[in-house]
Amino acid sequence: MNYNNPVQLQAAILDWAGTVVDFGSFAPTQIFVEAFGEFDVQVSIEEARGQMGMGKWDHIRTLCDQPQIAERYRKAFGRTPTDEDVTAIYERFMPLQIEKIASHSALIPGALDTLTGLRQQGLKIGSCSGYPAVVMKKVVELAATNGYVADHVVATDEVPNGRPWPAQALANVIALGIDDVAACVKVDDTVPGILEGRRAGMWTVALVCSGNALGLTYEQYQALAPDQLVAERKRIHALFEGSRPHYRVDTINDLPQVIADINRRLARGEMPQAV
């Protein structure tokens, strides 16, 4: 038995907030601000966005490790935050997130048509998120009411290690019956999500404008002056540089052209791990 390179993609593994739903990725960031606020610790939206893509407990731990936030916590409680304190914030974060997720559940404009087209080409649609399963259940229900149902969903607490580890992406490979990781493309709006795909041996696509890095509503994005958009793209491309995405595009609606290019590269014998 010999190994043969895949000659075309079999699956797209998609993130959720900032990728398929919630243009600007507002649901998780706003709730981080509110959860810390209930402990009288101020965290800005910009600070909350910094580690987006990680599992939420790990995200809170990382925020608490930032010197300026640790100092605010120390002023409020007389100590820097322990893991028990992180868990307390996380346990307040969870019900807030479930309560308010519906406010940011709209699909990215055009996403449903784009994904319908990919399915017509024979691609399976996997998905994963930094949300835990209890939040993902609500996200999935809301997306279904808007017409989007992924073929498989993996929450961050359903694997031993969340992003930037590859476990969630690989769990999709197993569940979807994909025979080679190189036949998958991971699409995400965060650095941890791109690292997840890279470490899983997949093609990777970073979304520059619909997600966490730009952090604007669809209407604000549409209203950006051309020179502002060029400057923002340049800034965000630099943010993704170290995670080495194979492609950087504005939104999921640019994915069909990327899929076509990857298929051409696979047909030539190119593999994602070698690029």
Q: Are 186 and 171 in contact (CB under 8 A)?
A: no
In degrees and rounded to multiples of 5, residue 50 shows phi and psi of -55, -40
d(CA 24, CA 189): 9
Amino acid identity at 44: S
Choose the catalytic residue: 15, 22, 58, 188.
15
DSSP 68-89: HHHHHHHHHHSS---HHHHHHH
Choose the catalytic residue: 56, 58, 85, 188.
56
Q: What does the DSSP 8-state code read for residue 186? A: E
d(CA 144, CA 130): 19
22 catalytic residue (yes or no): no
Single out the residue of 23, 27, 4 nearest to residue 221, CA to CA.
Answer: 23
Sheet strands (E) in 105-171: 124-128, 152-154
Q: Are 14 and 187 in contact (CB under 8 A)?
A: yes
75 catalytic residue (yes or no): no
Bridge partner list, 152: 126
Single out the residue of 142, 136, 179, 172 nearest to residue 155, CA to CA.
Answer: 136
Catalytic residue numbers read 15, 56
